[in-house]
Amino acid sequence: LNVTEEKFVLATLAGCTEYKSLLDVVVNAFYAQDGRYCLLSERNLYIVICYLATFQLEELGLQHFSRIVKSLDTAKMQKFLRFFFNNLHLNTWIKDEWSHFYDSPYVKENLIDPLLRWQPKVQQLIVQLKNKLNNLTTTVKTSTVTQPKEFNLTVPKPRAIPLPLPTHLPVREKRRPVPPSTYKPPKEKKQLEAIKEKNLQEAHVSIMFLFYSFLPSKLVLLYCCIFTRTFSETNLLLLHLITLRLFLYRVLEFVSSIDNIPIKLNTAAILREGALYQRKMEEELKRVENLQQGAGEPSEFLEWQKQMRGKDLEEQLAEIECRRLQGKLSHEEAVLARQNVIQENKKKADLLREEKAELMHQHAEKRLQKQKEMKELAEQVMEGHKNVKQVKTKLQEYKHQIAQQVSEESGELLRRALEEEEEKAKKRYELIQQIRALESVPGSRHKFVDLTETGGHGLFGEMSIVELRERLALLKETQKAAEEEKRDQIIHEKQAKEQLILEKLDQISQFRAELGRAAALKSEKKRKSQSGEKPVKDERILTLQKKIVEKKKERKKQAGLL
C-alpha cells in the first residue's frame, strides 16, 4: 500500500474500534432481522461499511463510496444498505439506541441528519445494485430439437359400403299384469296388530288384578260389576283413574301403619344424632340462663354495632384516600429522582470528557518522554559498539569461571546421590531378608473362636456374640410386653366406645319420645282449634254455590219433562 491508502486503512480501523458500540447496534439488528442467513464471518465487513457510511461519507464522497460498495458482493451490500438507510429505522430505534451512548442533540445533528441528507443518493445506488442483480441471467445452451417428419406411405383405396341385410322388426312380449297382493296389506301386519291388542288386554287384566289385591272386597265386587259392561275409551280411562286413586289410598294407609317400625342406625349416625340433640339442649339451657339473667332486646347493641361499622368504614375510606395521596406523592418523587439522575449523568459525562482530555495530554507527554529515552538508548548503544571487544573478552572469562563452578558442584551432587542410592539398596536388602525369615517360620492355620470375646476391631458399641444374643432376647420380651399392653388398651377403648354408644342410644330414644309427645300435643291443639273455628266462606263462593243449586234444579225439571 502507498502512504495515502495506508493512512486511510489505519484511520478506518481506529474509527471502527472507537465507535464499536454504535456500529454493533446496527449490525446486531441487521443480523436479527434481514441478515438472518448471512455468515457471521462477514460481520467485520458490515461494520466497516456502516462506519464509512456514518462518519466518512462526507470526506469520501458518493463516487468513492459507491466504488468500494460495488467492489464487494452485490446482494449483501444491497441488503445491508437498504436496511441501514431506511427512514423509519433511522428516525426510531437507531436514534434511540445511539442516544444511550451520546446526547440526543449530538446524535440528531452529527449522525442522523447527515445520513438522512445522503439517503436519496444512496437510494439511487441501491437501485443500481438491484438492477445489477436482476440483469445477472445465466445463459443455458439449448440443444437442437429433432423435428419429426411424416412417413411416405401409400394411401389405401376407399372401401365400398355393404348393402344392409333384410331384417324383421322385434316383437315385444306381453307384459304380465300387476298382482292384486300389491295393493293389499300383508297378513303378517294383521297378525302383529292382533298380538299387540291381545297383549294390551292381558296387561290391563294384570294391572286390574294388582289393584284388586290392595282394595277391600266390596269395592272389588263393585268394580267387577262395572267392568263387565261395555264402555268407550274415555269411560274406561276414567275408570282407571278412579282405580288408581283407590290404590294410592291403600298404599298411604299401609305406609302410615309402618311408621313406628324401628330403624337400625350405625355408629356414625348415632354419634351425629347424639351431638345434634346435645347441641340443641345446650342452646336451650343457654337461652334460659340469659332470660334468667335479665337479657333484653338487642336493639342498643345493634345501634352500637351500626355506629362502629360506620366508623370503620370512614377509617377505611380515609386510609384509601391516604394511600391514593401517597401514590401521587411517590410518583412526584420518582419524577424528581429521574430528573436528578439525568443531571448527575450529565455532570458525570462532563467529568469523563475532562478526564479523557487530561489523559490524552498525559499520553502525549509520555510519548515525547519515551522518544527522548529511545534517543538516549540509541546513543548508548552506539557507544557500546566501540567497546565490544573488551566486553567479549570479559564475558568469555566470566563464562569460563561459571562453567568450572558448575562442573565442581555437579560432581559433588553426583557423588552424594550415589552414596544415598547405595544406602537405600542396603536397607532394602535387609528388609527382604527379614520378610523371608518370617515366611519360613511355620504357623498355626487353625483359628479358635471364643463367643464371649469381642472382635477387637476398635468400633463403638462392639460386643460379643453371647451378649448380642442376650440383648436380642431382652428386646423380643420388651416388644411382646408392649404388644400385650397395646392390645389391652384397644379392648378398653372398644368397651368404652360401646358404652358411649349405648348411652347415646338411650338419650336419643328419650329425646325422640319427648319430641313425639310435643308433636302429639301440638297436633291435638291444632285439631281443637280447627274444630272450634267455624269455616268462613267468601261471598263469591256462596253466590257460585247458589247458582250451582239453581242449575241442578233446572236440570232436574228438564229431565222430568223429558
**Whole-angstrom distance, CA of residue 130 vs CA of residue 136:** 10
> What pLDDT score does 534 carry?
47
**Using 50, 70 and 90 to split pLDDT, how confident is the model at 180?**
confident
- Least confident range from 94-108, 201-215, 289-303, 514-528: namely 201-215
Is residue 329 predicted with pLDDT exceeding 70? Answer: no
pTM for the full model?
0.29
Provide the 8-state DSSP code for 313: H
> What pLDDT score does 536 carry?
44
Cell numbers linked to 245: 286413586
Is residue 489 predicted with pLDDT exceeding 90? Answer: yes
- Give which of 54, 190, 189, 185 is closest to 122, Cα–Cα: 54
Is residue 140 predicted with pLDDT exceeding 50? Answer: no
Cell numbers linked to 288: 334460659
Is residue 393 predicted with pLDDT exceeding 70? Answer: yes
- Least confident range from 34-48, 503-517, 539-553: namely 539-553
Reported as a single tens digit per residue, the pLDDT across 405-425 is 888 888 888 888 888 888 888
Average pLDDT (505-526) is 84
**110 vs 388, more confident:** 110
Is residue 62 predicted with pLDDT exceeding 70? Answer: yes
> What pLDDT score does 318 carry?
73
Q: Are 515 and 508 in contact (CB under 8 A)?
A: no
Reported as a single tens digit per residue, the pLDDT across 116-133 is 888 889 889 989 988 888
Cell numbers linked to 228: 263387565
**Using 50, 70 and 90 to split pLDDT, how confident is the model at 444?**
low
Is residue 137 predicted with pLDDT exceeding 80? Answer: no
**Using 50, 70 and 90 to split pLDDT, how confident is the model at 461?**
confident
> What pLDDT score does 238 carry?
52
Is residue 543 predicted with pLDDT exceeding 70? Answer: no
Average pLDDT (437-456) is 72
> What pLDDT score does 384 carry?
67
CA angle 18, 22, 26 (to 5 degrees): 135
Segment (H or E) for 95: helix 95-99
HSE-CB of 267 using CA atoms within 13 angstroms = 6
| Domain boundary assignment for the chain | 3-138, 307-404+535-561
Q: Are 463 and 454 in contact (CB under 8 A)?
A: yes
Q: Give alpha helix (H) positions in 452-464.
A: none
> What pLDDT score does 465 carry?
87
One-letter amino acid at 266 equals N
Percent of the chain clearing pLDDT 70 (strictly above): 75
> What pLDDT score does 138 carry?
42
Average pLDDT (330-336) is 68
**426 vs 301, more confident:** 426
**125 vs 244, more confident:** 125
Average pLDDT (490-507) is 90
> What pLDDT score does 551 carry?
66
**Whole-angstrom distance, CA of residue 262 vs CA of residue 168:** 104
Is residue 477 predicted with pLDDT exceeding 90? Answer: yes
Reported as a single tens digit per residue, the pLDDT across 360-386 is 888 888 888 888 888 888 787 777 666
Q: Are 523 and 292 in contact (CB under 8 A)?
A: no
**485 vs 291, more confident:** 485
Angle of the 74-84 helix axis to the 113-135 helix axis, nearest 10:
150
**Using 50, 70 and 90 to split pLDDT, how confident is the model at 446?**
low
Q: Are 118 and 57 in contact (CB under 8 A)?
A: yes
**297 vs 190, more confident:** 190
**Whole-angstrom distance, CA of residue 304 vs CA of residue 310:** 10
Is residue 235 predicted with pLDDT exceeding 70? Answer: no
> What pLDDT score does 177 carry?
85
Average pLDDT (258-274) is 71
